[in-house]
Amino acid sequence: MPTPPLAARGLLLDMDGTLVNSDAVVERVWRRWAADKGLDADEVLRVAHGRQGHATMAELLPGRPAEVNAAENEAMLAQETSDVEGVVPVPGAHAFMAAIEPLPHALVTSADTALAAARMGAAGVRMPRLRVTAENVSASKPDPEGFLKGAAELGFAPADCVAFEDSGAGIAAALAAGMRVVGVGPRAGDHGPTVHVRDLTGIRVEELPDGAGIRLHFAETATATA
pLDDT for residue 190:
92
Cis amide bond preceding 142, omega within 30: yes
Tell me the percentage of the chain whose pLDDT exceeds 90.
Answer: 90
| Whether residue 29 is found in the same domain as residue 18 | no
Query: pLDDT for 96-118, tens place per residue?
Result: 999 999 999 999 999 999 999 99
Question: What domain range includes position 198?
Answer: 6-22+87-224
**pTM beyond 0.85:** yes
Average pLDDT over residues 154-163: 98
| Whether residue 76 is found in the same domain as residue 179 | no
Domain end: 67, 82, 97, which one?
A: 82
How far apart CA 163 and CA 160 sit, in angstroms, is 10
Average pLDDT over residues 130-150: 97
| Whether residue 131 is found in the same domain as residue 119 | yes
CATH classification of the domain holding 220: 3.40.50.1000
Tell me the percentage of the chain whose pLDDT exceeds 70.
Answer: 99
- Gyration radius of the chain over CA positions: 17
Contact present, 182 and 90 (Cβ < 8 Å): no
Contact present, 176 and 144 (Cβ < 8 Å): yes
Considering the candidates 14, 143, 160, 199, report the single residue annotated as catalytic.
14
pLDDT for residue 226:
58
Contact present, 176 and 167 (Cβ < 8 Å): no
| Whether residue 125 is found in the same domain as residue 212 | yes
Average pLDDT over residues 134-147: 96
How many domains would you assign to the chain? 2
Residue at 1 is within a domain: no
Considering the candidates 16, 23, 166, 199, report the single residue annotated as catalytic.
16
Q: Count Cβ atoms below 10 Å from residue 185 Cβ, excluding itself.
A: 20
Would the pLDDT of 1 be above 80? no
φ, ψ for residue 44, nearest 5 deg: -60, -45
How far apart CA 87 and CA 70 sit, in angstroms, is 25
In terms of DSSP H, where are the helices of the chain?
23-37, 41-48, 53-60, 66-82, 93-100, 113-123, 145-154, 168-176
How far apart CA 21 and CA 119 sit, in angstroms, is 9
DSSP string, 212-223: --EEEEE-TT-E
| Whether residue 18 is found in the same domain as residue 38 | no
| Whether residue 191 is found in the same domain as residue 220 | yes
| Whether residue 166 is found in the same domain as residue 142 | yes
Pairing type for strands 88-89 and 105-108 reads unpaired
The reply to whether 42 belongs to the active site is: no
Residue 212 CB partners (closer than 8 Å, separation 6+): none
| Whether residue 205 is found in the same domain as residue 189 | yes
Query: pLDDT for 61-90, tens place per residue?
Result: 999 999 999 999 999 999 999 999 999 999
| Whether residue 71 is found in the same domain as residue 99 | no
Average pLDDT, whole number, for the chain?
Answer: 95
| Whether residue 72 is found in the same domain as residue 91 | no
The reply to whether 16 belongs to the active site is: yes
Query: pLDDT for 25-44, tens place per residue?
Result: 999 999 999 999 999 999 99
- Read off the pLDDT band of 46 (50, 70, 90): confident
